[in-house]
Structure 1
Amino acid sequence: MMLDSPVFIHSLFRSGSTYIFNTFRNAKSDFWCYQEPLHEFILSSRETPQNLIIESDALLTALRHPKMSAPHFQEVYEVAESCLSHLSADMCYAGYFGEDSVTSGAPYFSSLIEAAKGRPVIEECRTALRIGTLKKALGGTHIYLWRNPWDQWWSYKTFPYFTHANQVILDSCTGPQAIGILKDAISFTSSNKTTIAEQFEFFYQRPLPASESYLLFYVLWCMALREGHSAGDILLNIDRLSESSEYRREISAQLQQHNITGLDFSDCRSPRAVYDKEEIQFFEEIEARAAAILLAGGWTQSELDEVLALRKRFTPVHQSNSGKVDSSNSLRDASRARQLVMRYENSQSELAHQLAAKHCEASGLLSENEHLSQILSSREAELADLKLELQAEQGKQGLLEASLEEARESQRKSNGAISNLQDTVTIAEHALERQRTELEDLKQELQNRHDRLELLEQEREEVLESLSTSNSTITDLQNAITLVEHALKERTVELAAANNQLDDIMNSKSWRITKPLRLGSRAVRAISGKDSEFLVHTKRKIKSRCAAFLKFILQNPELKRIVSVRLARHPRLKAKIKRVVWALDRRLRNSPQDQQFDIPQEKFNPASAPINSVATQSAPVRKEAGINQDQKSPLESYFYS
């Protein structure tokens, strides 16, 4: 073994590494000691290395570190110019599980070894799971320093950095299969941050509850102990080193085999606590979960048993409950204090998660508000287009009314063109029906738009209610929503005006005048089989109107004469009218209580409608004028009298 070969001290946080480092630094041998050269503070000080020798005595006291003869990073500072350029961010945490020698930090450690002004000693709390990789790349003596997990985890509580560092480890690398299972077990949320400082800031706001914190720590603890046992040269247990002089001699002998001498561990003191049944149950339940995760992640039962046996072998001898001090009360008070810390940690984790959820909710509300603003803008454009369409429809309606007026004028001037006028009216009636359908659709569309606007109004109110409970930074959005509310009210007024215009059209005189035409159109469609019930109703109304019309003609001699002359020009029409009158006459005779007009008895020829033949006669028979005078219809008899 070469006298200048490097010595590596690997460990997890809070395992007595600062004490061991200080012991090596104060040894009589010529050691050049680097403490935590992978610390992210060193990474951030590459451009300002003078920051490495600035220390806080208050922080050292809070962390219960021993008094140092020089700043922690003194040796790193002295070689910073030649070494820090080899340090990269991936080496700090991304290479934690030692997948390759580069991210494990081998190039950086090699530069530190070459620049050392004595036998290099590298103490690092981030290399516990890359011992084998570094040993293969750099050689040297590798010591794994470890401590019982219960006291070590409670020592993490002295400063939140240590717990969050474990979260950064999970966030920075994929790791073996067991790490993926562990992430799922604690519902781990990745930060998606690009710098280590941003990762720590992210997890400072999202602390783990006590159970998940210990589960994460214990899985890493077991994996590190297995790595140290299989790849390390010396296992150094700080608990046994504190309580056993025999063990101190044994460790000194092992170190001498690697030419490491001049170390004095007689002042080693590692705090140990006494735990009650409730606390022991807390630890054992979580350790059972960790064992299941490791087995599911590829560990064999023998590997797990080997780690557990090693732990059991070095379990510290805790203070006895007997003595001058009332140990039961001390134990109770210590237990209550630790439970209080765990409850505080759990509540802090819950509050941090709630705060993160609120931030996510606020971001979601901001995005939703932007989306609603876009929808409102599109709805305003749709309303503008709809208004233009409505104006166009109103112009078409005006043209249609003008066409109808021309048709009526043509009807008054040209009684001889009744047939052609009927065709024209039919065409106009179809066009009007189409326009009416389009207007109905337009009105329905306007109603749908109104409903959508009401829905948007309700959503806006819900957004305002949610935003009122969020941070004050959303005040500007509330003002923007107020502006949108005014715009919505203006559009609602415009829609109300459009509805009033449609109501005016529906109540207009022209619309009422064309009602018979629409009824007639519906009757025509009913004949084609679309609305049989409506046809029956329409026929009944037509018969009633015809009866009243015939009554009016028969009671007016001059009008009767004019109608007779006009009908003589149109034999077919005259025949149709005669058949209709005949059928009406028979119906009126059979139902005198529903009779709409009276035919004078002195003018009526009973032979024209025999009562006993009504039931068997399905249609009236057309008769020529002047033949079979006694079989003429009542209307024809009155016309020729």
Structure 2
Amino acid sequence: MSLTKLRRHVREILLRQFLRLIKTEEVRHYLNRTLPEYGCIRQRIQFSPNPYGEGQPASHEPRQSPVFITGRFRSGSTLLWNIFRNLEGYTAYYEPFNERRWFSMEQRGDYTDGTHRGVSEYWSEYTGLAELGNYYHEDWIRHQLYMDEHAFDFDMKAYINTLVAKAKGRAVLQFNRVDFRLGWLRSNYPEARIVHIYRNPRDQWCSVLRDPAKYPSQATSPEGFPDHFYLGIWVRDLCRQFPFLAPYQDRHQYYLFYCIWKLSYCFGCHYADVSVAMEDLANSPESTIRSIIKAIDKSDGNQRESVDLSFVTPAGNRWLDYASASWFQAIEEECDAVIDEFLQGGPPA
């Protein structure tokens, strides 16, 4: 048998196996769970109370509107969380969706990132909240990273509701995985205030690499890229919504990093009540925090005790040692052109 015939034969066998596999109940169930089609139902059908029900559900005591912080990994979101953690009247929860499960002593471990100045642990606010384990799904860190206004996740909402309800004072939830779930958050928590933090993508890129020398600007493929912060996971999950995201084998990974950074920035600017640059927070923490507080609670903009901000250090420019401005600019302009056309719906007819 020739090599061509062998390849054709193998391909036919694999195709038959694949077609047989997708007809199994297990695969159908998996596809139904991962490719939901409930948006039109939620838009068209109204909830009707049980005509045989008894009385009205108990009313819940109104609480202060929660604050949701959204930012990419290494954007300064931990710095902002730590500042809120030290402000009176707030309970600031660190990365609620993190796979370390801060509410579980057995799962969370005791490691802290040495670059998080002024942070000795992340989990004290979760003490006594073991019930969160009833709702938590680790898939939240890798699946359905895009959720629009019509998306549905009962457990995710119950998880967030529990954090808000158990907070002493006003709840602040610092997220690194809701960049493209802000529509869902805004729809489910219309009273919430959203704070969007962003950072110069060039410096942020150097930060996610940790050791930039291990993946220099001369790289022409993903080989050797240390994916410390889930770039590949985000690309694979978001390609359904953003078809220009793909695991390119002939590009420097800054291309994909910047694409997601720019999309995240656009979503943050669209949905947030206030957007703040990490550089402003690091270089002028007191005035920046005052402006954030004013944006999320206008009655509280000037009422704020002094806080020790000695752990805040000025922002640097590490990217200058990584590559030239023209190198970064060429990649950024290429990404911007694609994203701009995508968000405009394509060229006019």
TM-score, structure 2 normalization: 0.66
**Pick aligned residue for 2:304 from 251, 258, 262:** 262
Tell me if 1:23 matches 2:23. no
Identity over aligned pairs, percent = 22
Q: How has the CA–CA distance of structure 1 residues 181 and 276 changed in structure 2, closer, same or farther, with 3 Å as cutoff?
A: same
- Aligned residue for 1:144, secondary structure, equals strand
* Cα offset, 1:68, TM superposition: 2.4
Question: Aligned pair in 2 of structure 1 residues 7, 246: CA closer, same or farther (>3 Å)?
Answer: closer
Where does 1:391-430 land on structure 2 (aligned, <5 Å)?
A: none
RMSD between aligned residues: 3.2
- Gaps of at least 5 residues in structure 1 are 188-208, 302-641
- Number of the residue aligned with 1:215: 255
Q: Aligned residue for 2:222?
A: none
Q: Deviation at 1:299?
A: 3.6
Shift of 1:277: 10
SS of the equivalent of 2:230 reads helix
Residue 154 in 1 paired to residue 154 in 2?
Answer: no
1:59-105 superposed Cα distances (whole Å, 9 cap, x missing partner): 522xx102225x2122234212x222111233222121224141893
- Relative to structure 1, the CA distance from residue 108 to residue 173 in structure 2 (aligned partners, 3 Å threshold; closer, same or farther) is farther
The residue number in structure 2 matching 1:183 is 246
Conserved in 1, the CA contact under 8 Å of 2:195 and 2:275? yes
Kindly tell me: are residues 289 and 128 of structure 1, through their superposed partners in 2, closer, same or farther at Cα, counting changes over 3 Å? same
Query: Equivalences for 1:140-539 in 2 at 5 Å?
Result: 140-158=192-210, 163-176=228-241, 179-183=242-246, 186-187=248-249, 212-244=252-284, 247=288, 249-257=290-298, 259=300, 262=304, 264=307, 267=310, 268-273=312-317, 275=320, 279-299=324-344
Q: Shift in Å at residue 137 of structure 1?
A: 0.3
Cα distance in 1 between the residues matched to 2:99 and 2:308:
29
> Which structure has the larger Rg over C-alpha atoms?
1
Q: State the secondary structure of the residue aligned to 1:41.
A: coil
Paired residue for 1:41, among 83, 100, 103? 100
User: Deviation per CA, 1:271-312, whole angstroms, max 9, x where unpaired?
Assistant: 3216279521221111122123313434469xxxxxxxxxxx
| 1:87 corresponds to | 136
* Residue-by-residue CA offset, 1:483-534 (whole Å, 9 max, x unaligned): xxxxxxxxxxxxxxxxxxxxxxxxxxxxxxxxxxxxxxxxxxxxxxxxxxxx
Partner of 2:177: 126
Q: CA deviation at 1:174?
A: 4.1
CA distance in 2, matches of 1:13, 1:104: 24
Partners of 2:273 and 2:296 within 8 A in 1: no
What is the match of residue 187 of structure 2?
136
Relative contact order higher in (CA < 8 Å, ≥ 6 apart)? 2
| Cα shift at 1:258 | 6.7
Alignment of 1:98 onto 2:158: no
Greater share of residues in helix: 1
Deviations 1:146-182 (A, max 9, x none): 1111111111122787645121122335442xx3212
5+ long unaligned stretches in structure 2: 1-61, 212-224
Separation of aligned partners in 1, 2:144 and 2:339: 20
Q: What amino acid maps onto 1:75 in structure 2?
A: E
Contact kept, 8 Å, 1:30 with 1:119, in 2: the verdict is: yes
CA distance in 2 between counterparts of 1:259 and 1:166 reads: 38
Residues of 1 paired with 2:229 and 2:334: CA distance? 21
Q: Secondary structure at the match of 1:78?
A: coil
CA displacement, residues 219-259 of structure 1 (integer Å, 9 cap, x when unaligned): 11111111111111111211022334655553443344174
Distance (whole Å) between structure 2 residues aligned to residue 266 and residue 67 of structure 1: 9
Is the partner of 1:94 in helix, strand or coil? coil
Any idea what the Cα deviations from partners look like across 1:18-64, whole Å, max 9, x if unmatched? 1111111111x22122111101222xx88xx21355323xx522xx1
| 1:122 Cα deviation from its structure 2 partner | 0.4
**Alpha-carbon spacing, 1:12–1:161, altered in 2? closer, same or farther (3 Å):** farther
> Counterparts of 2:166 and 2:322 in 1: how far apart (Å)?
52
CA contact (8 A) 1:104 1:134 kept: no
* Residue of 74, 95, 105 corresponding to 2:124: 74
Secondary structure of the residue that 1:242 maps to in structure 2?
Answer: helix
Change (3 A) 1:147 1:265: farther
Distance 1:291 1:163, change over 3 A: farther
Which residue identity does 2:158 align to in structure 1?
Answer: P
Alpha-carbon distance in 2 for matches of 1:265, 1:219:
36
SS in 1 for 2:180: coil
**Is the partner of 2:246 in helix, strand or coil?**
helix
